[in-house]
């Protein structure tokens, strides 16, 4: 029969080992879960930084699209008239109009045609032609802002989807780490709880009635 004292020493060592396993499993699970949560925080921080970086471009694209819609009549007749009137009253249009009319008058003066019908017709056509050209130019520039805003919004959306996928993956890792820690602790506790049965089996063998008298000097 094995020595009871030796059995107690081995049992005590096993219990201590089980306690250490329990603590190690708990620490490992916390470390892995903490690393995953830190990764989640960093992912969100990077997405917020990107969103803030692209915000001015997204905000510039929204009114540009609305202005384009007004020029083509999608905002209603009132919005279209207001958009055209805004171009006509703009300093850039007024400067081009003044320079163009002065150039026509100077040319007619040089050729002695100030009182002729040609100069009057040219002046009459110059303003609407210039307005149409200026509107087209304004629409094209707005289109650049609209495209920039669209691309920026798409970039934010793509980054948001990628961040969501990364966060979901990290959450799974954190959950797996916690589950592994629970399993490790449960296994360590189970090993400790099985020690009495293992000890009795080693002491007395299968089918024999256990007696603890030898353990206490009986």
**DSSP of 7-56:** HHHHHHHHHHHHHHHHHHHHHHHHHHHHHHHHHHHHHHHHHHHHHHHHHH
The number of folded domains in the chain is 1
Average pLDDT of the residues of the chain = 73
Query: pLDDT tens, 169-216?
Result: 766 666 666 656 555 555 655 555 555 555 555 555 544 444 444 444
Query: Alpha carbon of 22 to those of 12, 43, 134, 183, 198: distances in Å?
Result: 15, 32, 77, 10, 20
Query: pLDDT tens, 1-48?
Result: 444 544 444 444 445 455 545 566 566 667 676 667 777 777 787 778
Per the structure, the complete domain to which residue 211 belongs is given by: 4-216
User: Does 82 score more than 60 pLDDT?
Assistant: yes
Rounded Cα–Cα distance for residues 32 and 19 (Å): 20
């Amino acid at each position: 029969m094995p020595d009871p004292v030796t059995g107690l020493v081995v049992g005590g060592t096993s219990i201590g080992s089980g306690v250490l396993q329990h603590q190690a499993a708990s620490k490992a699970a916390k470390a892995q879960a903490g690393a995953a949560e830190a990764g989640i925080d960093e992912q969100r921080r990077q997405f917020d930084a990107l969103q803030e970086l692209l915000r001015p471009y997204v905000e510039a694209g929204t009114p540009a699209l609305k202005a384009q819609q007004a020029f083509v009549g999608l905002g209603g007749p009132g919005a279209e008239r207001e958009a055209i009137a805004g171009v006509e009253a703009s300093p850039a249009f007024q400067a081009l109009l003044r320079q163009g009319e002065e150039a026509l008058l100077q040319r007619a003066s040089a050729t002695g045609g100030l009182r002729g019908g040609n100069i009057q017709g040219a002046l009459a056509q110059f303003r609407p032609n210039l307005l149409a050209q200026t509107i087209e130019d304004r629409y094209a520039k707005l289109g650049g802002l609209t495209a920039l805003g669209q691309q920026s919004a798409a970039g934010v959306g793509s980054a948001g989807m990628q961040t969501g996928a990364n966060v979901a993956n990290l959450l799974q890792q954190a959950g797996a780490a916690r589950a592994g820690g629970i399993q490790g602790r449960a296994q360590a506790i189970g090993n400790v709880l099985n020690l009495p049965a293992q000890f009795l089996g080693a002491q007395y063998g299968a089918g024999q009635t256990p007696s603890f008298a030898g353990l206490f000097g009986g």
